[in-house]
């Protein structure tokens, strides 16, 4: 596949403003496609309200929270808190993409629509957690305040292309994290709720992935460099959550999100769909970025294999202890 830039001769000529203008028609097309396939849903319909009861506070009959009040597994609780706190920073995410993409035209319509859809996720997850008493409500609120008070600044806020590349992968990563959390939660109600959220995240990924594909058509060298940078330096938006590293380690062991999942289920599907490693006709910088991307993916696969071995050994030890 040979891709060349039909509009401007050099990468240096592509400013964010020119890229936004050049991609406007693609954004409008993808927005219309999204609106046709996206289905509105009601967060309150996914919450087991009859399981709810008062907490202490204004209500004299309030029942204090206890860890054993919920059927959700320990790893499910950990992942649900991380996923919810990540969603809580939606105001910061909106500010970032509105600043980069603008609030007018098709770009602006998408920014607001995306924000509205994402807002449902935090609503339904918090309602579920409190109603089902899956987590300590006081600690959850303390975590929310600490996390949101820090705000959020994307590693890719300097570049529109980097931001598009990042969300193409991040939306898929979020979908996978939600879906696997549901599977590991031990509660069919939670599983259905997170499956509904994951459906949204997948549609968001498709929007950004297709937009990234269009960017390769008009600015292949710059887009390749952006993809290289994003993949090599990727980290989830919830990395600032208090205790994130420990929670991430638990989620890795619990097979909700780890190196193997990141390589096989997040990075590779997007790269394969866009045929990123098959693009030719690149300039020197684009070819260098493509080569470095391939080397990184090979190294990541090796690291994932080592993680797989450690995880298998851990399981074997646990099984041996259970028998003995």
State the binding site.
Answer: 87, 118, 121, 171, 201, 204
Per the CB < 8 A criterion, the answer to whether 108 and 31 are in contact is no
Which residues does residue 2 pair with via DSSP β-bridges, in sequence order? Answer: 280
Pick out the residues of the known binding site for Fe cation.
87, 118, 121, 171, 201, 204
Per the CB < 8 A criterion, the answer to whether 220 and 281 are in contact is yes
For residues 100 and 96, what is the distance between their CA atoms, to the nearest angstrom? 6
DSSP state of 254: T
DSSP string, 3-32: ---SS-SSGGG--HHHHHHHTHHHHHHHHH
Per the CB < 8 A criterion, the answer to whether 276 and 230 are in contact is no
Per the CB < 8 A criterion, the answer to whether 20 and 163 are in contact is no
| Phi and psi based region of residue 275 (left: phi greater than 0; alpha: psi -120 to 50; beta: remaining) | left
| Phi and psi based region of residue 102 (left: phi greater than 0; alpha: psi -120 to 50; beta: remaining) | left
For residues 122 and 145, what is the distance between their CA atoms, to the nearest angstrom? 14
C-alpha gyration radius of the chain: 21
Per the CB < 8 A criterion, the answer to whether 223 and 215 are in contact is yes
For residues 281 and 43, what is the distance between their CA atoms, to the nearest angstrom? 47
Per the CB < 8 A criterion, the answer to whether 221 and 285 are in contact is yes
């Amino acid at each position: 596949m040979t891709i060349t830039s039909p509009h401007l001769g050099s990468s240096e000529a592509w400013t964010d403003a020119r890229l936004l203008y050049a991609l406007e028609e693609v954004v409008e097309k993808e927005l219309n496609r999204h609106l046709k396939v996206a289905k509105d849903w009601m967060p309150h319909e996914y919450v087991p309200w009859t399981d709810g009861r008062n907490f202490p506070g204004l209500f004299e009959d309030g029942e204090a929270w206890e860890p054993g009040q919920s059927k959700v597994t320990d790893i499910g609780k950990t992942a649900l808190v991380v996923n919810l706190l990540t969603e809580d920073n939606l105001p910061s995410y909106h500010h970032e993409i509105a600043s980069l993409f603008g609030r007018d035209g098709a770009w602006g319509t998408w920014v607001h629509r995306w924000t509205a859809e994402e807002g449902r996720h935090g609503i339904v997850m918090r309602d579920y957690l409190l109603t089902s008493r899956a987590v300590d409500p006081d600690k959850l609120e303390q975590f929310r305040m600490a996390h949101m008070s820090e705000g959020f600044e994307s590693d890719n806020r300097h570049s529109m292309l980097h931001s598009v590349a990042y969300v193409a992968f991040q939306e898929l990563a979020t979908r996978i994290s939600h879906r696997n959390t549901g599977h590991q939660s031990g509660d069919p109600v939670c599983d259905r709720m997170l499956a509904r959220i994951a459906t949204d995240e997948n549609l968001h990924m498709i929007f950004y992935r297709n937009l990234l594909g269009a960017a390769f058509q008009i600015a292949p060298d710059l887009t390749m460099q952006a993809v290289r940078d994003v993949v090599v330096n990727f980290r989830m938006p919830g990395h600032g959550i208090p205790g994130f590293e420990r929670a991430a380690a638990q989620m890795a062991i619990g097979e909700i999100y780890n190196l193997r999942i990141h390589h096989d289920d997040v990075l590779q599907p997007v790269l394969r769909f866009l045929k990123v490693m098959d693009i030719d006709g690149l300039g020197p910088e684009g070819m260098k970025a493509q080569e470095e991307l391939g080397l990184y993916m090979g190294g990541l696969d090796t690291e994932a294999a080592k993680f797989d071995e450690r995880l298998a050994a851990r399981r074997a030890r646990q099984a041996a202890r259970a028998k003995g």
